[in-house]
Each structure stands twice: as structure tokens, then as C-alpha cells.
Structure 1
């Protein structure tokens, strides 16, 4: 299945990028790199893609398994190499689940299925990063 994205220069350091969903996004450099900070930074966008990919998997599995979860979030911390080309060589991903009746075993299974089987972005990150995935449960 081919996916097409078109990214168009809007002048200075700003770009607009299409998405197959029909929603466009803007990319811009920070002021320290000649931009105005009016869009996403490309490398940080990769981390959002990783969290979004895995998050969609987990949300779908929560629904399928009929699990009780009040809320969940994914926090990512990544180390950027010093030399060019700079890339993320270490990525720590923390899943946080909140609720009064959390089934920790099944929720851990949703995370495991996402990171081991379903999340294609995770598989891409495995090619260049050392990954550390942790799950945290917060009872209300």
C-alpha cells in the first residue's frame, strides 16, 4: 500500500505537509535555527508518531477487551545524538493508566501487543534506537 505525503515550502523555514487523513500540518524550525516556531519540529513529530501509533493500538485493545480505564497517556523521553546526522539513539516510553478498577495484567497485555506486534512506527524505531518501555498504573 503506497502512502503519499506532499510537503510544500511556505518560505523561510516553514512547510505545510499533507496527510492521507486530509488534515495538514505545519513544520517550522525554532527561532534559534532561523524559523519562527510556528509548526512542529520534524524529530519531535517522530516521537508524537510513535506515541500516536502505539496509543491507537492500546485504545483499540482497551475497547475490544472492555477494560475500565478513566484515562491514559504516553510520555516519551528521547536522547538525541550530538553528531550529525542527529537521531534518537535511546527512547524511553512510559504508559500511564489511571482508574479505580484497573486490570493491570490485561492492560499490560495491550501495551505488549502494541509494541511487539501492531505498532509499525515502533518497528521503525527499533532500527536505530535502544527502546525502554515501561507501564505505570495509577489507582484513583
Structure 2
């Protein structure tokens, strides 16, 4: 990966397109947003694969992420709490709990930060 400095941040060109990164939201994604997005989307993608392998039928999965940052110093991320909203019919809470445990172990982003950022999860099932 190559990151090119611009007046108000950096850009990186990828196959999908150009990513603009800046400490100022007016000029690009903030670094902490990208880190939290990586954790949440990696977890959501792994959960999708786990649900499919377990043949758990679902219609939709949404992930929200609450972030706790250190108010002093560098404002580093201390905690990310992800809440998974799974829509489907006849989905067992026990199966989702087990699926999230497998997800946690297999998400490369969670495994990369688990010793420095507290990662927690919760979920709800919406019948539909």
C-alpha cells in the first residue's frame, strides 16, 4: 500500500477506488473511523460466513459500533462495542452466541487489536 500526502491528509489508490484519509472529516475519513470500520465489517463478514456454514437462515445483519476513546493524550481507542442486529425467522439465541464466539476467533481485525483494544459484542434478533 502506498499513501500519498496531500495538503489536508493522505490518499491511497486501491482497485476499488481512491481512499481519502484526514484528521479533518471535511477532507476524508478519519483514521479512527477506518480502524473501527475494519473491526465491525470484518466481524460482520465473518459472522455472515459462519451463519451460512451453520445453515442459519437470516434476511439481514446490521452492525453498530460504540467507541470509547481516551479523553486524555492521543485519544486512542480503548473499547469498541459491536451490536449485531440479525433479522430472520426462528433463529436461536444460543446458535447466535456460539456463532459470535467463532466470529471473534476468526476475524483478523479483532485478533489484530484484541490485546490493545477491548472488543465486546451484543446482539438482538428481529423476527422477520
Query: Which TM bucket (shorter chain)?
Result: 0.7 to 0.9
Residue 18 of structure 1 deviates from its aligned partner by 3.8
Name the TM-score, length of structure 2 as normaliser. Answer: 0.87
Report the aligned-residue RMSD.
1.8
Residue 55 of structure 1 deviates from its aligned partner by 1.1
Q: Within 1, Cα distance between the matches of 2:22 and 2:74?
A: 18
**1:28·1:41 contact (CA, 8 Å) conserved in 2?**
yes
Matched, 1:78 2:67: yes
Residue 94 of structure 1 deviates from its aligned partner by 0.9
Name the TM-score, length of structure 1 as normaliser. Answer: 0.80
**1:68·1:103 contact (CA, 8 Å) conserved in 2?**
no
Q: Within 2, Cα distance between the matches of 1:61 and 1:132?
A: 18
Q: Return the match for 1:17 from 12, 23, 26.
A: 12
Residue 98 of structure 1 deviates from its aligned partner by 0.9
Determine the structure 1 residue equivalent to 2:121: 133
Query: Alpha-carbon deviations, 1:9-40, whole Å to 9, x = none?
Result: 2x221321244xx2242112326xxxxx2321
Listed as ranges, the matches of 1:1-140 within 5 Å are 5-9=1-5, 11-19=6-14, 22-23=15-16, 24-30=18-24, 37-115=26-104, 117-140=105-128
Residue 65 of structure 1 deviates from its aligned partner by 1.8
Residue 101 of structure 1 deviates from its aligned partner by 2.6
The structure whose RCO (Cα within 8 Å, separation 6+) is larger is 2
Q: Within 2, Cα distance between the matches of 1:71 and 1:109?
A: 18
| Count of residues in Structure 1 that have an aligned counterpart in Structure 2 | 127
Q: Within 1, Cα distance between the matches of 2:118 and 2:88?
A: 30
Q: Within 2, Cα distance between the matches of 1:110 and 1:39?
A: 34
Q: List alignment gaps of at least 5 residues for structure 1.
A: 32-36
Q: Within 2, Cα distance between the matches of 1:18 and 1:6?
A: 8
Q: List alignment gaps of at least 5 residues for structure 2.
A: none
Determine the structure 2 residue equivalent to 1:34: none
